[in-house]
Amino acid sequence: MGRKGKKEKKGRGAEKTAAKLEKKVSKRSRKEEEDLEALIAHFQTLDAAKTQIVETPCPPPSPRLHASLSAHPEKDELILFGGEYFNGQKTFMYNDLYTYNIRKDAWTRVEIPNPPPRRCAHQAVVLPQGGGQLWIFGGEFASPDGEQFYHYKDLWVLHLATKTWEQVRSSGGPSGRSGHRMVVWKRQLVLFGGFHESTRDYIYYNDVHAFNLDTFTWSKLSPSGAGPTPRSGCQMSVTPQGSIVIYGGYSKQRVKKDVDRGTQHSDMFLLQPEDGREGKWTWTRINPVGAKPTPRSGFSVAVTPNHQTLLFGGVCDEEEEESLEGDFLNDLHFYDAAKNRWFAGQLKGPKSEKRKRRRGKTTEPESADGQECGGAGAQGPVEVVREVVTEDGTVVTIRQTLAAPGSAGRPPSDEEDSPDNAGGPVVGPSPRSNAMLAIKHGRLYLYGGMFEAGDRQVTLGDLYCLDLHKMQEWTALVEMDPGAQEWLEDTDSEEDSSEGESAEGGDEDSGAEAG
């Protein structure tokens, strides 16, 4: 009895500490967010001048991060909203909306009156009702210098049939945040985690909220059992059995003054509704088997037509007290909830053996001890390193992970192709974090993301497609040369106004400095 009492006391103590920290962060960030509200209001005034729906055929969107990419529930279209871009000196925020017509391979910019304010790191989910709806919650707005942040707690719906935005006002929802995750579960939007950051402080969340799509009301869930620790950027998906899976994510904590330590989580939990008890949920930690992804953050997630959860890329950070280095990834993994098993997703390659083999692939790679890696039917991925020299002379090193020939490690299928049909290695999207994924008609679409080369951040704007049924090779729909992207050093403060002209929506973006 005494031991149990101590445990309960400790739990209450942790709750009090978290509440104090949230109050402290909230107080310090309030002034900061008030400063940014004026800038956000300025942009909304510009948006208010648009009173008609205007659809304009256009080139592919400019490179951006932390946007949302969603598949239209009724049309052969992808929907891209929001995001951010950093050119080395200045942060640009977006609230523009693009559609990509899959059959025509064509982009359209869609201007709709009264859109949500500019943001990134929000969450978007699609519902099929009423001709299709795109629901968006939260996200953040960054000041042009990237030093201050405003975190949204608003909920919006885009009615796809009528092309109208609507802000859904309902009290009792989650606090302002970004990096959270949101899924559709029955007739509810269920939201988990995220973080809130100000100039000096930050807090990560592990709370769960539900928005009822029939009553338009928020409720905070209080699941029983030990759940995930606070985190952002995790995997959140609904299983065929009606549970919700949470995997991985990222959080950081202050270890001493001005020194933070990040954690790349690799644990997995199941959030299950209790039988016969409406609104009651339970957390259970699960330990899947199979080829688990290596610990990472910034990975991207989508759900396949056969209800497996797909995970792509990310970055594995190696943190020292004063430095942070990351290995960027472009591997695929699949999680099968019915079997509680991870599978490594390797491509079979093109059908024909006559395809010209890529340079440098005629010999088997060697391991660190000088022995050949793998054998017949057991070849692993191959890493190829290439260097790109940018306009300013910076050498950007790009590491490509090439899937080995053969189908070992793929998600199991009813038909296994013979080794004779497996072609050579296939180059797919370059290693990156924070890519945007969407799946339509069994095809995975991957847009953008970023990687780092020294102090330089390269934001990508390419688009790839992969047929998940065939699992043969990626198709490049929009290609991009990372070396051609302009990067401004901190000292060149006079040049960023001209850069604003070239960024998408640049005329309005360049007004950010005035705020």
Residue 198's pLDDT is what? 79
Each residue of 101-119: pLDDT tens digit?
A: 999 999 999 999 999 999 9
Count the alpha carbons within 13 Å of 192 in the hemisphere toward its beta carbon. Answer: 28
Whether residue 310 has pLDDT greater than 80:
yes
Q: CA triplet 345, 346, 348: central angle to 5 degrees?
A: 135
| DSSP characters over 216-241 | TEEEEE--BS--PPS-BS-EEEE-TT
For residues 453 and 242, give the distance between their C-alpha atoms in angstroms, rounded to a whole number.
Answer: 42
More confident call, 157 vs 413: 157
Q: Is residue 508 part of a domain?
A: no
Confidence of residue 495 (pLDDT cuts 50, 70, 90): very low
Residue 515's pLDDT is what? 38
Indicate the Cα dihedral angle 209, 203, 178, 267, nearest 10°: -70
Whether residue 48 has pLDDT greater than 90:
no
Q: What is the CA radius of gyration of the chain?
A: 23
Q: Is residue 407 part of a domain?
A: no
Each residue of 482-493: pLDDT tens digit?
A: 877 788 876 544
Confidence of residue 395 (pLDDT cuts 50, 70, 90): low
Each residue of 136-191: pLDDT tens digit?
A: 999 999 999 888 899 999 999 999 999 999 999 999 999 999 999 999 999 999 99
Q: Is residue 253 part of a domain?
A: no
Q: Is residue 156 part of a domain?
A: yes
Residues 137 and 182 sit within 8 Å (Cβ to Cβ): yes
For residues 224 and 230, give the distance between their C-alpha atoms in angstroms, rounded to a whole number.
Answer: 16
Q: State the SS3 of 254-278.
A: EEECCEEEEEEEEEEEEEEECCCCC
What are the residues facing 434 on neighbouring strands?
none
- Structural tokens at position 317: 């950070």
DSSP structural state of residue 211:
E
Domain count, the chain: 2
- Structural tokens at position 294: 């290596």
For residues 327 and 315, give the distance between their C-alpha atoms in angstroms, rounded to a whole number.
Answer: 5
Q: Is residue 436 part of a domain?
A: yes
More confident call, 251 vs 147: 251
- Structural tokens at position 442: 């069994």
DSSP structural state of residue 433:
B
Residue 419's pLDDT is what? 36
DSSP SS3 for 33: helix
More confident call, 191 vs 423: 191
Each residue of 259-300: pLDDT tens digit?
A: 888 999 999 999 999 886 778 999 999 999 999 999 999 999
Which residue's entry shows tokens 């970004």? 178
For residues 224 and 210, give the distance between their C-alpha atoms in angstroms, rounded to a whole number.
Answer: 16
Are 161 and 306 in a shared domain? Answer: no
- pTM, full prediction: 0.79
For residues 471 and 514, give the distance between their C-alpha atoms in angstroms, rounded to a whole number.
Answer: 49
Residue 175's pLDDT is what? 96
Each residue of 460-469: pLDDT tens digit?
A: 999 999 999 9
- Least confident segment among 20-29, 304-313, 349-358: 349-358
Residue 454's pLDDT is what? 83
What is the pLDDT averaged over residues 126-138? 96
Q: Which of 341-350, 396-405, 502-511 has the highest mean pLDDT?
A: 341-350
Q: Is residue 88 part of a domain?
A: yes
Each residue of 196-244: pLDDT tens digit?
A: 987 778 999 999 999 999 999 999 999 999 999 999 999 999 999 999 9
DSSP structural state of residue 172:
S
Each residue of 364-390: pLDDT tens digit?
A: 333 333 333 333 333 445 455 555 555
CATH code for the domain in which residue 137 is found? 2.120.10.80
Q: Is residue 361 part of a domain?
A: no
What is the rounded average pLDDT for all residues in the chain?
Answer: 80
Percent of residues, the chain, with pLDDT higher than 70:
72
Phi, psi of 392 (to 5 degrees): -90, 10
Domain final residue pick, 141, 169, 197: 169
- Structural domain of 335: 302-348+429-483
Residue 461's pLDDT is what? 95
Q: Is residue 233 part of a domain?
A: no
Residue 511's pLDDT is what? 33
For residues 511 and 348, give the distance between their C-alpha atoms in angstroms, rounded to a whole number.
Answer: 49
Residue environment code for 337-358, b if the CB has 16+ CB neighbours within 10 A, otherwise e: beebbbbbbbbbbbeeeeeeee
